């Protein structure tokens, strides 16, 4: 998500970072960088509670939260999409509501077993957006969404299976899930579940580990890069970073260093992930290459990096 992106949803998680204020029952936290302690000028906890009481009914998700909610599916899960028929339960629609109203709408949909509402509820609980993070409940909701017909629930469930995050670690189970929605990452149809599951877990984990490279922040570079992985060799291939923003300096002291920065960030992330992931059974790996296009762009939290903390309250308990 360079930054340790064991959470690519850094912006989402920033809204639910643990603070002593929450443990004392405050119920809301400012979506400020680091969730630091309130300044003396604010008058302490009592004054903060009064301000929160006045602001709760008007609180909106911060720009950081809105961007993260819309980008969550597109950024982390390669094939998931915000379906047009999601309607009132789409991430785009929910991102414009207060957390309180968004949760009320989602709960209505969950009660009706709407697949889009089940997925959105699982995603918010998985990352602790507007509610306390609850991995077990998120898995339950993702499974219900899948049973109700939501393909969006496959990628998070597959990644959890590959990582052993709240479920039994099983690369074959991850691959079998991905095949349900036809996701093979460029491999042939004959690819086995185990190799597919391992490759997907590696690629997704590497993308999350890399996040948006810190050294790209000063130039605000954005673009895409194709990352390929060959499980039997434990090696990867990286196509050159293709910038899509307009400012691409190429001469003098302003030579574009983005390709080198991205290459170094991928190398570091790949090494960390390869050392950390559950070791695969090499006898079960088949020879195939898997490719995923990674989009690199500054998130709202990157844009706000170094800026003054903001004070919009975001609901985090329910």
Pairwise CA distance, residues 252 & 255, whole Å: 6
25: which residues sit within 8 A by CB, 6+ positions away?
Answer: none
Q: How confident is the model at residue 246 (pLDDT cuts 50, 70, 90)?
A: low
First to last CA, the chain: 27
Q: How confident is the model at residue 210 (pLDDT cuts 50, 70, 90)?
A: very high
Q: Is 31 helix (H, G, I), strand (E, B) or coil?
A: coil
Check residue 247 and give its pLDDT.
Answer: 59
Give burial (CB, 10 Å; 0-12/13-18/19+) of 266.
Answer: buried
Least confident of 75-89, 139-153, 214-228, 233-247: 75-89
Pairwise CA distance, residues 251 & 14, whole Å: 38
Q: What is the pLDDT of residues 112-143, one digit of tens each?
A: 999 999 999 999 999 888 899 999 999 999 99
Torsion of CA 54, 59, 65, 69, to 10 degrees: 140
Pairwise CA distance, residues 253 & 166, whole Å: 49
**How would you classify residue 128: left for phi > 0, otherwise alpha for psi between -120 and 50, otherwise beta?**
left
The residue-averaged pLDDT of 225-245 equals 94
The residue-averaged pLDDT of 43-61 equals 47
Least confident of 44-48, 56-60, 193-197: 56-60
Check residue 89 and give its pLDDT.
Answer: 86
**CA neighbor of 163 nearest in space, from 271, 7, 4, 1:** 7
DSSP H helical ranges for the chain:
10-14, 20-23, 44-55, 63-76, 91-94, 99-111, 115-127, 135-147, 154-163, 171-180, 193-210, 258-276, 300-303
pTM score: 0.70
Q: Is 90 helix (H, G, I), strand (E, B) or coil?
A: coil
The residue-averaged pLDDT of 272-290 equals 96
Q: How confident is the model at residue 26 (pLDDT cuts 50, 70, 90)?
A: very low
Q: How confident is the model at residue 31 (pLDDT cuts 50, 70, 90)?
A: very low
């Amino acid at each position: 998500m360079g930054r340790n992106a064991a959470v690519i949803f850094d912006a989402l998680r920033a809204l639910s970072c643990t603070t002593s204020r929450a443990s004392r029952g405050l119920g809301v936290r400012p979506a400020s960088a680091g969730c630091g302690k309130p300044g003396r000028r604010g008058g302490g906890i009592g004054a903060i509670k009064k301000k929160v009481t006045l602001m709760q009914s008007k609180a909106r998700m911060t720009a950081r939260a809105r961007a993260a909610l819309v980008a969550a599916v597109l950024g982390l899960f390669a094939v998931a999409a915000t379906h047009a028929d999601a309607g009132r339960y789409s991430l785009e629609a929910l991102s414009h509501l207060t957390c309180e109203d968004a949760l009320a709408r989602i709960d209505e949909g969950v009660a009706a077993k709407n697949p889009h509402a089940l997925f959105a509820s699982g995603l918010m609980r998985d990352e602790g957006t507007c509610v306390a993070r609850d991995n077990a409940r998120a898995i339950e909701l993702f499974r219900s969404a899948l049973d109700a017909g939501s393909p969006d629930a496959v990628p998070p469930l597959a990644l959890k299976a590959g990582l052993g995050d709240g479920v039994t670690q099983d690369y074959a189970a991850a691959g079998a899930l991905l095949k349900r929605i036809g996701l093979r990452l460029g491999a042939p149809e004959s690819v086995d579940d185990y190799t597919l599951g391992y490759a997907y877990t590696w690629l997704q984990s590497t993308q999350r580990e890399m996040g948006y490279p810190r050294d790209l922040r000063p130039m605000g570079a954005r673009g895409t890069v194709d990352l390929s992985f060959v499980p039997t060799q434990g090696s990867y291939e990286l196509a050159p970073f293709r910038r899509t923003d307009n400012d691409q300096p190429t001469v003098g002291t302003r030579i574009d260093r983005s390709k080198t920065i991205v290459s170094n960030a991928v190398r570091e992330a790949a090494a960390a992930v390869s050392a950390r992931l559950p070791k695969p059974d090499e006898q079960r790996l088949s020879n195939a290459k898997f490719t995923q296009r990674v989009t690199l762009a500054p998130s709202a939290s990157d844009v706000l990096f170094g800026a003054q903390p903001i004070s919009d309250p975001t609901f985090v308990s329910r």
